[in-house]
A = this chain, B = another copy of it.
């Protein structure tokens, strides 16, 4: 390495909340970034659609351009924060084809076209880094890919969507209804105008696909993840959970089974003693089970300008350092063929709320249905009549032992057909031991 500090020209694609923070950090922390990267990180161009808007003191006017291709062609390192599939995909491909390392926070893109993009990076001996795409500021990429390189991850459960965690946490603390809390979250800016990516679970599903790829090799896509959002969660579900020492969380769960990988996003009950239960507000956390390490958890902010920019900048410094030292890029996906399995193959536990006729023999008939399906009951509680429409009904809360989801679903269907059953009022999975 020569004495003279090399300059790495950086193209920033996108100057939204995160991009603006990246530009600020590049300017404010220039000296420390230079010492850590071993190169001066010089912002060379900022690609935006509206080139006329004032972007503040950290994005000089003369760097602003709408010509993304020219910006990419001039860069030594590309930061892609435009989001969406196109034109982000083509621009990343353009950079990688020039062996220029790319740092991206684009989970939707990686969870649909990650396979070809990672292959392209490997073919060009360069890096495609994406820490910010998995869980915002939470360092998870290097812990999974490097710190646990000598261990075997068996299961990952993440609270990876801050908006829905904020909503569920608020419902838990205040006993409020979903609609009311969603309304409030919108007003506070915790929910987008179209909240479906959050509340339907799609954002969490994209992250689940990335977590599965990181944990188990292979490259998985969003559409392979079984996805249920929080729209069906009621104040009654949350209250029942609380009374049982549990809490409702939207979990992204990926786990290794013999035949492949199971990926699912759904609301689940976890014990209040579980570390994930202590994740409040808009915070995120990723809980990891590994054969030797046992239980690990990584906690932090999953969104927001500065926190996400922190993850982006970690990738940028490491990519610049690799440029300077000429190090071979870290191995990406193993390229192993790992199958995505249907959610019916999941092993899980169910918590059921069932309204039944108050008559002798009802419990025996219900228990028999469970036994016939090979599902064993861990606990059964009977509640009084209060709050029910029918005077002659009682509500049962049944929690099962672990079983295959297909068997649990078949049990629920069969119970629903019993004449003594008025309604199945809630079905929720129970996770974490």
Contacts and interface: CB of A to CB of B under 8 A. Distances in A.
Copies of this chain, count: 2
Specify which of A32, A300, A306, A311 lies most central, judged by the most chain B CB atoms within 10 Å of its CB: A300
Contacts of A334: 35-36
A131 interface: yes
A275 B299 contact: yes
A312 B292 CA distance: 11
A321 B334 CA distance: 14
B33 A150 contact: yes
Nearest to A148: B314
B328 A294 contact: no
A138 interface: yes
A313 B137 contact: no
B292 A300 contact: no
A294 B327 contact: no
Interface stretch (A139-147, A181-189, A391-399): A139-147
A278 interface: yes
B280 A278 contact: no
Nearest to A280: B273
Interface string A64-88: 0000000000000000000000000
Nearest to A150: B313
A21 interface: yes
A250 B184 CA distance: 39
B311 A301 contact: no
Contacts of A205: none
A325 interface: yes
Contacts of A375: none
Contacts of A316: 150
A418 interface: no
10 contacts: A36-B331, A142-B142, A292-B306, A292-B310, A292-B313, A293-B300, A293-B310, A297-B297, A298-B299, A326-B328
